[in-house]
Amino acid sequence: MTRPLVVRFGALGDMVLMTVAIRRIYERFGLPVDVLGSGNWTAPLLHGQLGVGDIHVLHSRKRPYWVGPDQWQLIRHLRTRGVGPTWLFDAQIEKPCWLLRRAGWGEADLLALDKLPDIAGEHFCDRWQRFAELSPESALTASTTGAAATVRTDGAVPALSVSPALRTQVLAWLRSLGVEASRCILIQPGNQRTMRWGDRRRASNTKYWPEERWAALLRGLRALHADHALLLLGIGPEARINDEILALAKVANAHNLARSMTVPRLMALAELAFGMISVDTGPAHVGAALGCPVLTLFDSPSKLTMYAPRGPAALVSCIVGGIDAEPSMLGLTAEAVLASWRGLCLQQAVRRKRA
């Protein structure tokens, strides 16, 4: 049987959660799983991970085929690799399906997400593992393993790994900043929604937590961890909000890394760091998948239920604020977040003592 293929056009955190399904399909069929995705994060995140085969990135699903060289290249590769069982993890996926059919895929080779019954409030890790237990018709006829697979209820947690070479590179980079890896705390204030054009305080920006509260949190962390470096994460557009927070906080040994951050660096930092505090966004999922203790700020209990970070060995704490009985991150105080962080640190200390 030709290698399985999964199609998912997700953000960074979405692709971390996808590792649950990739690993399960790999276990079922015993073949590396090729991935078709989007964004600059997909390839560096998944390259070399367990069960992952070839990674293909489609830069635009809206661009017409006749002006899309990435689509031409994808078609050529798909025809070369051959038709294989394919899981479609996005509901609106017309263009990729059109490309797959052009490359020779038939309906029996495709399993669409609408074949999976909904379970209200289900975490996406559990949802993706259930989807990975199903098979396109062609896989059922070609593989007895696929036909007889039993549903797994364990192991529905994302898992990532970092190569020794990358770890060595990032350790050297931290030394150049005067930072000891085990004594750094990662902070992720920004997210895609916050960095869109317009006033950050707009009502639709439900993941916004004010800069002055981040600054107060940094001062509280400095009082708790006098010897730890505070590393503010993000991508280029998020550097500005980090600068504003640091200007308000006025704490020593704090660094804005957004202008030099890459996905591989983020992964190695997460593996090495003392812990992370983040809004509900991709780096929180990366951290948990690499065993980093993570405190995540959520804008609603329902989001927490479906998207709480998970990892094979991570301590994860989540906090939701509210204003007048309505969930809102603006209802979170710096003191409340700091108290949750103290609780997470206590759990970490107990675990280390037992080890």
Residue extents of the structural domains in the chain: 5-148, 164-354
pLDDT above 70: percentage of residues in the chain: 92
- pLDDT band at residue 61 using 50, 70 and 90 as cut-offs: confident
Does the domain at 164-354 match CATH 3.40.50.2000? Answer given as: yes
- pLDDT band at residue 194 using 50, 70 and 90 as cut-offs: low
Q: Is there a common fold for 5-148 and 164-354?
A: yes
How far is it, in rounded angstroms, from Cα 301 to Cα 16? 21
**Who has greater pLDDT, 324 or 84?**
84
Q: Which CATH superfamily is domain 5-148 in?
A: Glycogen Phosphorylase B; (3.40.50.2000)
> CA-based diameter of the chain, in Å?
64
Q: Over range 30-41, report the average pLDDT.
A: 95
Q: What is the pLDDT of residue 154?
A: 56
pTM of the model: 0.93
Q: What is the pLDDT of residue 325?
A: 81
Q: What is the pLDDT of residue 145?
A: 42
